[in-house]
């Protein structure tokens, strides 16, 4: 929790610092910073409020009834009850690629989705491990956390664009200030992106930890992650919008060639190691 708060504070610091520099070029630091934040907030508020509908559309996920997938509904219902949450809606993505995600702005507006490939690949214990991870995301309102981070990062991007405009077309007599603003307009969005992805990776580790405690099957979750990761490493990709990549339990659009620091997810192998260590520390939970 402290790490998350520190990263949010860092994001806010980048916003305020860049806003002051860019605003100084235009003669009104406070108004420029506030304007960028309000614009980013408005855009992300819409995404947040309708996140479940938007994501289901972007991933081509279809809500399914208990009659269609009784076993899947039974596991989701049991895990939600154990977590003290209302049962999320259940959706299916018609794809042979194994993966899963959760979305929705809160426990009462949540959806848990899995691909048909996941249902075919995993046994029931592994499936329960994956779903416990997604239920943990719902419990801790990780969509809200991601929305706040995206709002601040979005405001930084708008400020950076204004900074580049001001540096190129501003008062030529402010050459040094223009150069500083230009440099910051490129560095600030990169820094914000790195902090934002670090927040995302932290939430994945936390969902693994709490999900394993919820299902009491850390080794099953580890086994499921390994199976999914091997599919991703094999080059098989989901035919969906890449912007949804942070939602999935394993990033379906990356491989080992992508540096971990630029990924929305931590290394799957590190996640597996942590889960195995958890099982060894607290004894067999299977």
CA distance 206 to 214: 12
Q: What is the pLDDT of residue 131?
A: 97
The neighbouring-strand residues paired with 111 are 89, 103
CA distance 264 to 248: 10
pLDDT for 118-172, tens place per residue?
Answer: 999 999 999 999 999 999 999 988 877 776 776 677 777 777 777 777 666 655 5
Q: What is the pLDDT of residue 258?
A: 47
Q: What is the pLDDT of residue 106?
A: 83
Q: What is the pLDDT of residue 15?
A: 76
Residues in the chain, pLDDT under 70: 1-4, 26-27, 44, 47, 147, 150-151, 166-178, 180-181, 243, 254-262, 282-286
Residues assigned a catalytic role: 134
What is the side-by-side strand order in the sheet with 100-103?
61-63, 89-93, 111-115, 100-103
pTM for the model: 0.76
Handedness of CA 9, 13, 16, 18 (dihedral sign): negative
Q: What is the pLDDT of residue 257?
A: 47
């Amino acid at each position: 929790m402290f790490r998350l708060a520190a990263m949010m504070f860092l994001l806010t610091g980048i916003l305020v610092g860049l806003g002051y520099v860019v605003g100084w070029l235009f003669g009104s630091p406070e108004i420029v910073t506030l304007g960028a934040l309000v614009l980013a907030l408005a855009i992300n508020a819409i995404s947040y409020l309708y996140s479940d509908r938007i994501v289901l559309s972007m991933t081509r996920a279809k809500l399914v009834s208990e009659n269609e997938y009784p076993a899947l509904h039974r596991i989701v219902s049991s895990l939600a009850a154990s977590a003290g949450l209302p049962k999320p809606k259940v959706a299916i993505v018609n794809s042979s690629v194994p993966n899963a995600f959760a979305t929705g702005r809160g426990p009462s507006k949540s959806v848990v989705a899995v691909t048909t490939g996941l249902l075919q690949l995993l046994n029931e214990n592994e499936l329960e491990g994956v779903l416990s991870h997604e239920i943990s995301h719902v419990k801790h309102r990780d969509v809200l956390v991601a929305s706040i981070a995206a709002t601040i990062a979005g405001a930084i991007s708008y400020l950076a664009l204004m900074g580049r405009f001001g540096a190129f077309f501003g008062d030529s007599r402010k050459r040094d200030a223009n150069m500083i603003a230009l440099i910051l307009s490129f560095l600030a969005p990169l820094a914000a992106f790195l902090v934002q992805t670090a927040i995302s990776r932290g939430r994945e580790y936390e969902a693994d930890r709490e999900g394993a405690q919820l299902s009491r099957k850390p080794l099953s979750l580890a086994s499921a992650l390994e199976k999914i990761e091997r599919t991703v490493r094999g080059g098989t990709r989901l035919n969906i919008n890449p912007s949804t990549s942070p939602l999935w339990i394993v990033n379906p659009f990356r491989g080992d060639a992508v540096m971990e620091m630029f990924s929305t997810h931590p290394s799957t192998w590190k996640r597996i190691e942590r889960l195995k260590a958890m099982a060894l520390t607290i004894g067999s939970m299977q």
